[in-house]
Structure formats: C-alpha cells, structure tokens
Amino acid sequence: MATRITVDPVTRIEGHLRIDCEVDNGKIVNAWSSGQMWRGIEQIVMGRDPREAWLFAQRICGVCTTVHAMASVRAVENALDLEIPLNAQYIRNMIVGAHCVHDNIVHFYHLSALDWVDIVSALKADPQKASQIANSVSSWHLNSPQVLSQVQKRLLALVESGQLGIFANGYWGHSAMKLPPEINLIAAAHYLQALEYQRKANQIVAILGSKTPHIQNLAVGGVANPINFDSQSTLTLERLYHIKKLIGELGDFVRNAYLVDVAIVGAFYGDWAQYGAGVTDYLSVPEMPMDTRGTKFAMPGGVIKNGDPGTFQPISGFHDQYFQEGVAESNKHAWYRSKGPLHPWDGETEPQYTDFEDDGKYSWVKAPTFHGQRMQVGPLGNVLAMVAAGYEPALRYLNQMTDRINAIGGSPFPISALHSTIGRHAARAVRCGVIYENLESQWQALMDNIATGDTDTFNRPVFPKGEIRGVGIHEAPRGTLSHWVVIEDRKIKNYQAVVPSTWNAGPRNENDELGPYEASLLDNPVADPERPLEVIRTVHSFDPCIACAIHLADTERREIVKVKAL
Amino acid sequence: MHTLVLGIGNLLLQDEGIGVHIINELQRRFQFPPGVELLDGGTAGMELVEAMLDREQVVVVDAIRSDEAPGTLIQVEGDAVPAFLQQHLTPHQLGIADVLATLTIAGRTPKQLVLLGVVPHSMELSVTLSDTLQQQFAELITQVAAKLAEFGIVPTPKVEIRPSVGPLTGVPSDER
C-alpha cells in the first residue's frame, strides 16, 4: 500500500524546507521539494547605490553571509568592467577558501554526521580497539585510547542527562544505522574535535574580513585591507603569519580526520552509492581568480552532461557568455506570477500563493535551468569538472578517496559511484582538500606579490550614466551562486540572486521535470515511514541551506513527520 | 571574554532585525567592561558556534514569534531556552537551536543562558523598526542592562560629544 510522508520542517539545515514523498513497497516513487519561506530580499536593494548592495546582500542568509557579499561586489564590478588589484583577489580568495573549509567541516560533522553515526551505540565501544582501528587508517594525533575514553564518558553523561532527545533530532537505534560501536565512537570524537578546528577557519575569515559573521572588508573595486608592514592597524606580517599557522592546523584536520572519516562512512555505507543520483547534469563555475580581470583561475569549473566527464564544457571566467546567456528561472510551480522562464536580468518576484498543489504550485523556490536543462550544483559537479579539466589536485584527492574507500570497505568505489547520496559527501571532502591546498597557495601568492612592492588593494569604481548590466559568479560551498544586477544612472534597477539551493531544491520546472532534490529521492528505500532517515540522508547530502533560497514563515522547531495512507 | 551579548535577526525584515538594532544601540551608547563582548550575529546560524563556545554568560536578543500581542517582551532562561526555541521561532532560530544542540553534545553550553526578546509587529521588507517596536526599544535596552547587572556587569554611558561643543580649530560645529 502506498503512503505519503511529509517531513516539515527538515531539521539540521538552515531555513525551512518541506519534503513530501510517496512510498510504495518500501521505495520512494514520487517526491516534492517545497521551500516554505518567501524571499523577496532583492527588492530591498532596488534604487540603492550599487557600491553598498553587498552589505545588504550578505544579510540574505545565515550560513553563507560571506558568499553573497562576494557575488555582489563581483556583479557590480562585472557591470563596470572594473579590474581589481591582485592583492585584493588573493585576500578575497583566502576568505573564500577559509569560509568553504569552515562550511564543509560544519556540514559534515555537525549537520549531517548524525544521519550515519549513532552516538548511543558509541557507548558500547571498546576505546582501546577503537583507537587501534583509527590509527590503522590515519596518523591523526587525537585518536588515543585516553582521548576516546574521555569522549565516551562525555557521551554517557549526555545520554544520562536526557538532553539528547530534546536537542539533537537524531535517529538513534534506527535499523539503517550500520556503523560498529568503535567507528561510532571515533566519529563522535571527531565531531567534538571539529568544533575546535572550525574555529580556526572562522578566525581566518575574521582576521581578513574584520568581523564574522558578516565580513566588513569588501568594496566594489577591491578590499578595504590596507597593507603596510609597519602599521599595526593594517594587514601586518604578524597577522599574515598567524593566518599561515591557522591554515596549517586546518590542513592537518582536513587531511587526517575529515577526508578519512568520510571514506570510512563511505566504505560502511557502500549501498548508498546506489541511491540519490537524481539529476546528473552538473554546473559549476571557476573559482579563485588569479588575475585582475577574472580570466585566469586556480580552480576550473564548467558543465558536465549525463554524468559523463567526457562532455565537459568549461566556463571560462567572469565574462563567460555561455554562462551569462544560459540561466533562466521558471515560476510555473513556484508561488510567483508566471510568465514562462525569465533570464535573471529580467527576473520578477511577484508572489502568487496557492495551497500546496501536487500538480500546480507548491514552493517559494523558483526552478532554474541552464540552456533549458535542470542542473545539479555543488562540490560533486565541481569535482567532476576539475577532474575533466585535468586539474591535478582534484584528481589526486579523488584517487586517494576512492582508494581509501576501496581499502576499508573491500569493494571498489568507481568514479561513477560519485553520482549518489554518499558520493556527494565524498566529493565535498575531496573539494575541501583541494580548497585547503589553494588556501596555502593563495597565502603564498599574496606574500610574493607584496614582496614585489605592490601594496594596492583598491581601484576606485566610476559609474557611467545610462544602463549597465553585470553578473557576479562564485563557486560557493553549496555550489554555483550568481548575483545579477542592472544599474541605471548609478542606481540599482533590478537585482536577482540565483543561489545554489535554488538550483538543487527548486520544484518542477516549465516542462514539469523534477528538481535535483526531488529526482535524487526516487527509488530510495524507506524502512520505517514514521522515521524516514533515508529521506533525510539524501536531502542532507546536498548541504541544504534554504534560508537564502527563500525567506520567512511560521514554523515549529521539531522535525515533524506525517504519514498518510493513500 | 566571559560574557556575550548576542543580537540576532535579519536587518532587512523590519522587526526581525530587533536583536541587531539593540546591539548597535548598546555599542553606540555604552562602554562595557573588559570580558564583555557585544556581537551582531545577523542571520548567522552555525557560524555562531565559535561565538557561543565556553562562555560563562550569554544573553541572546531576538525577535520571538508568539501568540502574545506584538511588542510583548519575553524573557526565558537556562534549560527553558532550548525547549522554548522548539515552540517559538523565526527561521534563523532553526540555526540557533542547532548551535545549542551541538554545544550540548559537546558539553560546552554557556553556564548561564538568557533569551530576551520581543514579539514582532511587522516582518515586511524594511530596514527600520515598526512603531510598536520603537516604543518598546528603550524598555528592551533597560532589560538587557538589568540582566547584565545581575551578572555584575555595569556598562558606563559614553560621553556624548554634543555638536554645540566646537573644536578648537574654530570650524563652526554645523559644518562638521
């Protein structure tokens, strides 16, 4: 008998997402992804000075305040065809990198690990044995029996306090939880240690950005970080060397804890390489510009079709026509007035609320397409693009990941297995390794450039009369982000943000094709409709952040699962 | 820093931004003793883990959805905060609840936790507060100060430089 499951809200994500699934014979046969908040945030920048749009844009969202600031200044610079100094690019790139490492660590350990790791089971582990297992796969210095035994005591106190139930919304004891107690203990230990390491990433953002959350150092035309080694109020050598130290410590955690833990989870949950592929056309953009104009990049990006890296078509940079012409958004199934797919420069956001209609409108998220096709965005698509472009670090980290999963799990993990729920986690960790290396090389590039005597960080923007248009692209932790701006007589005339979660969480499009979340849920098993852990696993694997895809709603905190016989 | 006063909310959505407005006002008007940090947390969620780790005292100021009349001031303390957050929410509080969950698992929640809030009147797109909340603004500031006083923290009012006091250079004050 078919049943309908409604999970509303999905927790351990930012923002308010509702997922509906039809389950028949223990498998999902249909799915709807519905953003339950309206976002009309673009309207607030209409008529404003384009130089201050980024300050508003970064208030759109909670998780990734930084990324909207970045995309916004790039959009205005793109409209002006304004180059920015090399130092400014490198400083921005370091913020981009540190923010991404922060986001990836928090997403894996604090927002999604509990989908796979059973904290209660860790109480049964033998810390000695757990330490041996951990040391056999990693040289991480915090895997000793003493450390693990302390963690176990902490977990026991937590379980006995009764707070686990109130707080964590985990699926303890679920039949789909498969890690042995020792592995659960190792993962729980790293969950706690990750708290210390995410701080280090955040500190880098805070030093360069002056403040976190909501960085303050950007400007249309560069950054507001004066470089002067003789002045304490600027970016000094001391500060730069402190950043270098933090980068090194972060790298240690990423390489020896995060990348290893993801491989372990991937090996024990090999069955999850069969589920969750969904849309296998991927979009990503290049990141970390290495010249003043945004034509050369450290990390490639582009389009992959049908999951085949052989189809790779690169996106060249900030001025790429193929990208600029390709994006459109459909409101046919979203709660806005619909006029067919519109390009973001012509985009409209006029609410038209109906009830939740399975075949009609059912979400506050629009449905974007790229040259008419649904696209999945995120680290997975970017890793495939980087590998297709022959980018060595991506290939190296990917090979290390697949070899490791293979060695631990005893069965091969081909690249094709990446098109899956577990594959998205693996790809995110792989990209985090690549990002960490780039963080190091951006630091070096900045030092080398300053050593040539160049201390420029800002080029003053000059706004012409008349209308100009720009797009700011950014490969954010959750995928491709683009801000689109139309400026008329020095004032903003139109502004649209097409965010990663719009691409992935969007509803059906103009041709009624399923969005990436929806498509990825099809055929997933559901052992217990009352506790649909499997649904949560696949949705969380995208690192959902709905807060900027949409905005505003009444909501209840507790993850509420409703099951209805059909 | 043993004490954190954290204002959260979305500045772009009128009364939703009350927490941030309060922080800005406190920073403008008062000097706080060492060890006290005031933070505009904006719309951040998990990014606030760093700010909340291992504090003695945390006072969160926010807009709170409730059946009470707009403008009603609400104060919740200690263990009641997480339970309260499950019932009364604005979207970013999903994030704050997750931050508290993470700190709880780690055993690193603040020793004293206070949520001070006010029921919003309007959450339309705007960067200025509604009249209802503007009327409650001074009272909310007073409550934050009273709560800090309970913790033994007394801010000093900043000396206001009045425009009539012209500088010695002789530049007329109204041209400054």
Task: List CB contacts (< 8 A) between B45 and chain A.
Answer: 14, 62-63, 547
pLDDT for residue A161 is more than 90: no
Phi and psi at A355, nearest 5°, equal -75, 180
pLDDT tens digit sequence for B92-145: 555 777 788 888 888 899 999 999 989 999 888 888 999 999 999 999 999 999
pTM comes to 0.91
Measured between CA atoms, how close is A420 to chain B, in angstroms? 26
Neighbours of A49 (CB within 10 A): 14
Measured between CA atoms, how close is A210 to chain B, in angstroms? 13
**Cβ-Cβ contacts under 8 Å for A160 (sequence gap 6 or more):** none
User: Does the distance separating the beta carbons of A551 and B13 come in below 8 Å?
Assistant: yes
What residues of A are annotated to the active site? 14, 61, 64, 68, 478, 501, 545, 548
pLDDT tens digit sequence for A25-55: 999 999 999 876 656 667 788 999 999 999 9
- Indicate which of B98, B108, B109, B123 best probes the interface with A, i.e. most A CBs within 10 Å of its own CB: B98
State whether residue A369 is helix, strand or coil: strand
User: Does the distance separating the beta carbons of B105 and A167 come in below 8 Å?
Assistant: yes
Average pLDDT (A489-501) is 92
Q: Does B145 contact chain A (CB < 8 Å)?
A: no
pLDDT for residue A147 is more than 70: yes
- Parallel, antiparallel, or unpaired for β A376-377 and A467-476? unpaired
pLDDT tens digit sequence for A278-328: 999 999 999 999 999 999 999 999 999 999 999 999 999 999 999 999 999
Task: List CB contacts (< 8 A) between B44 and chain A.
Answer: 62-63, 65, 213-214
**What pLDDT sits at residue A14?**
63
Question: Which residue among B41, B44, B100 sits closest to A167, beta carbon to beta carbon?
Answer: B100
Q: How confident is the model at residue A59 (pLDDT cuts 50, 70, 90)?
A: confident
- Indicate which of A36, A108, A192, A195 best probes the interface with B, i.e. most B CBs within 10 Å of its own CB: A195
Neighbours of A319 (CB within 10 A): 15
User: Does the distance separating the beta carbons of B108 and A167 come in below 8 Å?
Assistant: no
- Parallel, antiparallel, or unpaired for β A367-370 and A222-223? unpaired
**What pLDDT sits at residue A548?**
46
Q: Distance between CA atoms of A142 and A147, rounded to whole angstroms?
A: 7
**Cβ-Cβ contacts under 8 Å for A144 (sequence gap 6 or more):** A131
CA A91 to chain centre: 21
- Indicate which of B24, B40, B94, B96 best probes the interface with A, i.e. most A CBs within 10 Å of its own CB: B94
pLDDT for residue B166 is more than 70: no
Q: Which of residues 39-68 of B touch A (CB under 8 A)?
A: 40-50, 53, 65
Task: List CB contacts (< 8 A) between B87 and chain A.
Answer: 556-557
**What pLDDT sits at residue B173?**
38
Secondary structure element (H or E) that encloses residue A154, with its range? helix A145-161
More confident residue, B68 or A96: A96
**What pLDDT sits at residue A213?**
80
Q: Distance between CA atoms of B104 and B85, rounded to whole angstroms?
A: 14
CA A106 to chain centre: 11
- Indicate which of B4, B6, B8, B12 best probes the interface with A, i.e. most A CBs within 10 Å of its own CB: B12
User: Does the distance separating the beta carbons of A195 and B49 come in below 8 Å?
Assistant: yes
Average pLDDT (A126-144) is 97
In chain B, which residue's Cα lies nearest the Cα of A110? B102
Q: Does B104 contact chain A (CB < 8 Å)?
A: yes
Q: How confident is the model at residue A18 (pLDDT cuts 50, 70, 90)?
A: confident
**What pLDDT sits at residue B45?**
77
User: Does the distance separating the beta carbons of B47 and A102 come in below 8 Å?
Assistant: yes
User: Does the distance separating the beta carbons of A556 and B87 come in below 8 Å?
Assistant: yes
Q: How confident is the model at residue B169 (pLDDT cuts 50, 70, 90)?
A: very low
Task: List CB contacts (< 8 A) between A192 and chain B.
Answer: 105-106
**What pLDDT sits at residue A410?**
86
Only one residue has tokens 């902490």, namely: A154
Q: Distance between CA atoms of B83 and B88, rounded to whole angstroms?
A: 9
**What pLDDT sits at residue B46?**
79
Q: How confident is the model at residue A454 (pLDDT cuts 50, 70, 90)?
A: very high
- Give how far Cα A317 sits from Cα of A78, A117, A282, A296, Å: 11, 40, 17, 7
Task: List CB contacts (< 8 A) between B89 and chain A.
Answer: 554-557
User: Does the distance separating the beta carbons of B47 and A61 come in below 8 Å?
Assistant: no
Total beta-carbon pairs less than 8 A apart between chain A and chain B: 137
Question: Which residue among B13, B42, B94 sits closest to A11, beta carbon to beta carbon?
Answer: B94
Task: List CB contacts (< 8 A) between B43 and chain A.
Answer: 59-62, 65, 213, 547
pLDDT tens digit sequence for B59-89: 999 988 778 899 999 999 988 887 777 665 5
pLDDT for residue B90 is more than 60: no
In chain A, which residue's Cα lies nearest the Cα of B83? A166
More confident residue, A410 or B150: B150
Average pLDDT (B143-159) is 93
Q: Distance between CA atoms of A146 and A328, rounded to whole angstroms?
A: 55
pLDDT for residue B172 is more than 60: no
Average pLDDT (A195-216) is 91
User: How high does pLDDT run on average in chain A?
Assistant: 91
Q: Distance between CA atoms of A236 and A250, rounded to whole angstroms?
A: 21
**ipTM exceeding 0.85?**
no
pLDDT for residue A245 is more than 50: yes
Question: Which residue among B43, B65, B108 sits closest to A554, beta carbon to beta carbon?
Answer: B65
Q: Which amino acid is at A398?
A: L
pLDDT tens digit sequence for A325-372: 999 999 999 999 988 999 999 988 788 889 999 999 999 889 999 999
Q: How confident is the model at residue B171 (pLDDT cuts 50, 70, 90)?
A: very low
pLDDT tens digit sequence for A424-449: 999 999 999 999 999 999 999 999 99
Measured between CA atoms, how close is A199 to chain B, in angstroms? 6
Q: Residue A96: name the closest of A438, A391, A467, A396 by CA.
A: A438
In chain B, which residue's Cα lies nearest the Cα of A11? B94
Phi and psi at A408, nearest 5°, equal -75, -45
User: Does the distance separating the beta carbons of A191 and B86 come in below 8 Å?
Assistant: no
User: Does the distance separating the beta carbons of A551 and B47 come in below 8 Å?
Assistant: no
Q: What angle do CA A288, A342, A486 make, to 5 degrees?
A: 55
pLDDT for residue B44 is more than 90: no
